[in-house]
Amino acid sequence: MPAYAIVGQQETWQMYLHGPMMRESERTSPGQIPPVYVSGTWVNKIYRFDNFSMPGPGEPLYATQKMVGHALAPSTTWPVEDESGKLKGLLVAEGQPWWVNNVPPAEIYKGGVEFLPADKDAKCSQIFPQGGLHEFFGQVVNTVDCHKGTNVCFFTVWKFYDDQWPFWTNASALVAPDCLYYCIADTVDDRPVCRRTGVVKDEHGEPVCHKDGRGAVHGMTIGLTDPKDPNQFDIFLVFTGGATFTGGDSSMQKVRVKVTELSVAGSKVKDMEVVKSTAFATDLFVTLPPKGMDAGGDHAWVDETGKFMWISTFRLAAAGVHMVSYEDGSLIYSVSGIDRFVKGQYAYSAGLQGVGTLGKPGSFLAVATSACHDVQACAPIPWVWPIPEENWAAGVFFIIDLSTLPGAEKVATIVV
C-alpha cells in the first residue's frame, strides 16, 4: 500500500511520538490529506501538519509542520469544536509514568487530562483528575475520547508496566490503580468541565480496572450511536498488560453503554452505565499470535462507514495495523513493515486515526510510532549527553494511503 513517512529529529519528537488526530472538517480538497495533530511525548509538545501536497506515484509528500502547544507527556488528543465545527481547543491525555518531564526536570507530576485552548492568549485548564491525592500527584492518562451527543468523555489511566512483575504489585493496584474513568461534562464544545467523574463499572458492577492476566485499558475509542436511542452507544476497549515486546496480555471488548439519570438531592443529574460487554477481535488477539506470544493491543479507530475498524498492535508477534469487522471483530487485513522502517530500530505503534475507508479516494490512515534499538530492553532513551548517538532511536510518523486496495508496497517521504 502506498505510504509516506517522516522520522523524529533532535528538534522535533525524537524517539517518542503518539496519538495522531486527523481534522477531516478542515480538508481543503477531497483528495488531499487533512491537517493532522501528533503528540511529541518526550519533548512535551503537540505538532500540527497541514498544507499537504498531492504527490504522484513515488514522489515525496510535502507538508508544513508547526508546534502548536505544550503539554506534559501528551499521548492522545480530542478536538473540542463549537457548533460550526470550529476548533476551540484540544483535550490532551497526559501521562508521565516517570514523574519527571524532561532532562533536567522542570516539573514532577504524573499527568491527567488538560484542555489546551486554540486561542493563544487563553490559559489551559486541567479537567481530570479531581480532588485528593490523585489531583495532587496526577494520574497517567493514555487515551481521551468523548461522545458529543451526551457530553460523556472517557479517560484511560494506564502505565506501561501494568501487570509486569516486579514493577506491578498488589500495592500498585491499591495506591495507583489503572482504570477506565468516565466524565459527565457540562459541555464538549468549549472548555469542558467534568460535573461527575468515576470509574466505569461493567454490567456486573465490577470496576473496569487492572486484572492479573488481563492488564488494564490502554486504548479506547467510541463507536456508533444506537439509531433508536441517542443515549446508547458502543465503546471499544483495548486491554494491555506487560512491559515486554514478546509476551504479555492484550485483548479487546465491545461495550454498549447507556447514559442515564440519577436523583441527587432532589435534582436530576446525568450518569452512565454499561449495558453489556463482549469479547472482540479474537482473530487478532487470540488466533494470530504464535503460542506464548501476544499481539500487544494499542489503539483503535472506526472508519467512516461504521463497518470496519483499524487496530494498531505493538508487539513482535503482530506488529502493524489491522482492519477488522465492526460487527464481530473478524480480521480482514493486516499491514506490516512499519516496525522495521528504520534499519536497526524497532518502531512500535503508539496510536492511529484516519479518514474515509479502504478503497475510497481521499482515504488515509495516520500511524504514530515510538522507537528503540533493543526489543529485549525497549525503553525511551533520551537524546542527551552522555548517551551516545548510536543508542538514539527515532519515532516514525506514517501516513498510509487507503484509497487503493492492498497491492504494490511503496513508501515515500514526508518533507516539511
Q: Which residue, among 152, 143, 210, has the nearest Cα to 176 in the 3D structure? A: 210
Please determine, for residue 240, whether its predicted confidence score (pLDDT) is greater than 90.
Answer: yes
The pLDDT tens digits for 180-238 are 999 999 999 999 999 999 999 999 999 999 998 899 999 999 999 999 999 999 999 99
Please determine, for residue 273, whether its predicted confidence score (pLDDT) is greater than 60.
Answer: yes
The number of residues making up the chain comes to 416
Mean pLDDT, range 299-310, rounded to an integer = 97
Sign of the CA dihedral 369, 374, 379, 382?
A: negative
Residue 244: its pLDDT value, please? 84
| Whether CATH 3.40.50.720 fits 2-415 | no
Residue 167: its pLDDT value, please? 64
Please determine, for residue 175, whether its predicted confidence score (pLDDT) is greater than 60.
Answer: yes
Mean pLDDT, range 317-328, rounded to an integer = 96
What's the rounded Cα separation, in Å, for the pair 46 and 215? 28
The pLDDT tens digits for 60-117 are 999 999 999 999 999 999 999 999 999 999 999 998 866 666 666 666 667 899 999 9
Global model pTM greater than 0.85:
yes
Q: Which residue, among 173, 147, 169, has the nearest Cα to 158 in the 3D structure? A: 173
Backbone angles phi, psi at 134, to 5 degrees: -60, -40
Residue 374: its pLDDT value, please? 82
Residue 407: its pLDDT value, please? 44
Residue 409: its pLDDT value, please? 45
Q: Which residue, among 160, 99, 211, 157, has the nearest Cα to 350 in the 3D structure? A: 160
Are β-strands 64-70 and 2-7 bridged in parallel, bridged antiparallel, or unpaired?
unpaired
Confidence of residue 379 (pLDDT cuts 50, 70, 90): confident
Please state, for a pLDDT cut of 70, what percent of the chain lies above it: 89
Q: 18: burial class by Cβ within 10 Å (0-12, 13-18, 19+)? A: buried
Mean pLDDT, range 282-288, rounded to an integer = 97
Confidence of residue 263 (pLDDT cuts 50, 70, 90): low
- HSE-up of residue 397 (Cα within 13 Å, Cβ side): 28
Residue predicted with more confidence, 404 or 108: 404
Residue 99: its pLDDT value, please? 62
Confidence of residue 408 (pLDDT cuts 50, 70, 90): very low
- Any idea which residue has 503518539 for its cell? 18
Q: Which residue, among 152, 142, 132, has the nearest Cα to 92 in the 3D structure? A: 142
What's the rounded Cα separation, in Å, for the pair 284 and 318? 8
Residue predicted with more confidence, 46 or 246: 46
Average pLDDT in the chain: 90
Q: What is the DSSP letter of 356?
A: S
Confidence of residue 137 (pLDDT cuts 50, 70, 90): confident
Residue 162: its pLDDT value, please? 66
- Cell numbers at 410, concatenated: 511503496
- Any idea which residue has 441517542 for its cell? 230
Question: Residues 77, 48: contact at Cβ < 8 Å?
Answer: no
Mean pLDDT, range 137-145, rounded to an integer = 91
Contacts (Cβ under 8 Å, ≥6 apart) of 169: none
Residue 416: its pLDDT value, please? 42
Mean pLDDT, range 401-409, rounded to an integer = 68
The pLDDT tens digits for 38-49 are 999 999 999 999
Confidence of residue 164 (pLDDT cuts 50, 70, 90): low
Residue 96: its pLDDT value, please? 81
Peptide bond into 129 cis (omega under 30): yes
Task: Give me the sheet containing 180-185, strands edge to edge.
Answer: 141-147, 152-157, 180-185, 194-199
Residue 378: its pLDDT value, please? 78
